[in-house]
Amino acid sequence: MALIFEIIYHKTVVDDDIPHLSKLWREKVHRAIETKLTTNPDLFGKPLRRSLKGYRKLRVGDYRIVFRIQDTRVIIFAILHRSIVYRTLRTH
């Protein structure tokens, strides 16, 4: 039986990141989370380095989903455009 990961969204993702996505990108991001991060986040997420070590990213077009795996939970910390995602995360 396949392990299903629980998805948890950080408050800033719910309050800031998701509302700024267009409906099209919101659907694409949701589909990627449901198909990839709930089933095998280790396989689909690429590890980040340096100051973001311990985090992983999933690429969805020009957007990046930054997350961390804890046991059977995937905690999503950011869903932002690739041009600002890493700069934004470093300042928090």
- Position 16 in a domain: yes
Rg of the chain (C-alpha set):
12
Q: Which of 32, 28, 39 is nearest to 57 (CA)?
A: 32
Answer whether residue 44 is part of any domain.
Answer: yes
In-domain check, residue 25:
yes
- Encode 25-64: b = buried (16+ Cβ within 10 Å), e = exposed: beeebeebbeebbeeebeebbeebeeebeebbbbebeebb
Mean per-residue pLDDT of the chain: 94
Number of domains in the chain: 1
**Does residue 59 lie in a domain region?**
yes
User: Does 72 map to a domain?
Assistant: yes
Instruction: Give the single-character DSSP code of 87.
Output: H
Residue pLDDT, tens place only, 55-78: 999 999 999 999 999 999 999 999
* Structural domain span for residue 34: 6-90
In a domain, 20, yes or no: yes
Task: Decide if pLDDT at 3 tops 90.
Answer: no
Residue 1 is assigned to a structural domain of this protein: no
The CATH number of the domain where 55 resides is what? 3.30.2310.20
pLDDT tens, residue by residue, 4-57 = 999 999 999 999 999 999 999 999 999 999 999 999 999 999 999 998 999 999
Q: Is residue 10 part of a domain?
A: yes
